[in-house]
Amino acid sequence: MKSPFPGMDPYLEHHALWPDFHNSLITALRDAIVPLVAPAYYVGVEYIMKPDGDAFLGRPDIAVVSPGATRPVSAAAPVVAQDVNVLEVELPLGAEVNHYYLEIRSVQTHELVTLIELLSPANKTSKTGRADYLEKRFEATMSLTNYVEIDLLRAGDPMPFTPQFASDYRIIVNRGRIYRRKAQLYAFNLHAEIPAFALPLQPDDNEPVVPLNQIVHELYSRARFDLRIDYSQPPIPPLSEADTIWARELLAA
C-alpha cells in the first residue's frame, strides 16, 4: 500500500506513529546512503539517550567518514520541483540532545565528515530539548563537519536561520568544510514531493544525491503504515483549512 500523499504524509506525525517512523527512517537513510559513498566512506547509526524528566530523548544523526584518496561514485544533480524553494540562509552562531543520528566517516582515517539529523518533536517542542539540539547544531557548524538537518515535522517552531522562510517542511545542508555558517535551505510544503538533496562530503568529492522522497515512500510501504492510520480522522497536528480541503479531495480519490 502506497501513501496517498505525494511527499510527507502528515498522519505520520501522530505521537503513536512518529517514534517508529523516525527510527526506521534513520536506518532506511543509512541503507540508501551506504552504496552512494562506499568504499571511501562508511555510515554509522549512533544513539545517545538522556533522560528529560520522565521521558527519554533520542537523537538520530548520520555521519559520513572518508578514507582519503578514494572517491565515492558520483550521481546526477537533483532536479528540484517547481514547488520547492531552494535558498541560501545563514545559521546563527551560538547542548546536546539525545537520539538516533547518522555519521559518515572516512574509511581510512575514521574522521567524521558529515552528520545527518532527523528532527524529532523533542527537538522542536521541548524547551530543554530544543536548547540542547541548537547547542549541538552550533558545535557542528563551528567545526569542519558537514551538517544536514531534515525537518519533516509541522509541529513546533522551525529551527532558526536567516532570512526566515515559511514552509511546512525543511531540509538544511551546511557544507561546513567550505562555508561554515552558509547553508542551503530546501523549503517545501505538504503538496510537494520531498526534494532530493546533494550529500556534502570532502570538498573535492562529487556529491551523491539522496532521493529522500523515494526512501520515505518505500519505508511507508514496507512497514505498512496504512494499517495503522485512520485517514477518516484529521491528522495531528491539524492542517490549515485549505490543506484540509486538499487532503480530503486527495484521500477521496
The per-residue pLDDT for range 185-214, each reduced to its tens digit, is 999 999 999 999 999 999 999 999 999 999
For residue 141, what are the contacts with CB-CB under 8 A and spacing of at least 6? 91, 93, 147, 174, 176, 180, 181
pLDDT at 81: 61
pLDDT at 71: 41
**What is the number of domains present in the chain?**
1
Cα 106 to chain centroid, rounded: 21
3-state class of 30 per DSSP?
Answer: helix
**Does a structural domain hold residue 1?**
no
pTM over 0.85: no
pLDDT at 64: 58
Percent over 70 (pLDDT), the chain:
83
**Does a structural domain hold residue 2?**
no
3-state class of 59 per DSSP?
Answer: coil
Whole-angstrom Cα distance, residue 157 to residue 196? 23
C-alpha cell recorded at residue 106: 572516512
Cβ-contact 21, 12 below 8 angstroms: yes
Cβ-contact 37, 104 below 8 angstroms: yes
End-to-end alpha carbon distance in the chain: 15
Work out the number of other CB atoms within 10 angstroms of the CB of residue 174: 28
For residue 233, what are the contacts with CB-CB under 8 A and spacing of at least 6? none
Give the mean model confidence (pLDDT) for residues 98-123.
91
Beta strands at 41-47 and 100-106: parallel, antiparallel or unpaired = antiparallel
**Does a structural domain hold residue 144?**
yes
Beta strands at 146-151 and 182-188: parallel, antiparallel or unpaired = unpaired
Say if residue 94's pLDDT is above 50.
Answer: no
Helix ranges, the chain (H): 18-37, 121-125, 127-141, 212-223, 241-252
**Does a structural domain hold residue 123?**
yes
Give the mean model confidence (pLDDT) for residues 124-149.
91
**Does a structural domain hold residue 5?**
no
Say if residue 100's pLDDT is above 70.
Answer: yes
Q: Is the dihedral of CA 240, 130, 225, 5 positive or negative?
A: positive
Containing structural domain, residue 125: 10-252
Rounded to the nearest integer, the mean pLDDT of the chain is 86
Cβ-contact 104, 114 below 8 angstroms: yes
C-alpha cell recorded at residue 193: 514531493
Whole-angstrom Cα distance, residue 62 to residue 99? 11
For residue 146, what are the contacts with CB-CB under 8 A and spacing of at least 6? 64, 113, 114, 115, 173, 174, 175, 176, 177, 200, 201
pLDDT at 82: 63
**Which H/E stretch holds residue 44?**
strand 41-47
Say if residue 76's pLDDT is above 70.
Answer: no
Cα 200 to chain centroid, rounded: 14
**Does a structural domain hold residue 177?**
yes
Say if residue 117's pLDDT is above 70.
Answer: yes
**Does a structural domain hold residue 44?**
yes
Whole-angstrom Cα distance, residue 128 to residue 179? 29
Which residues are 50's β-sheet partners?
Answer: 57
Give the mean model confidence (pLDDT) for residues 102-119.
95
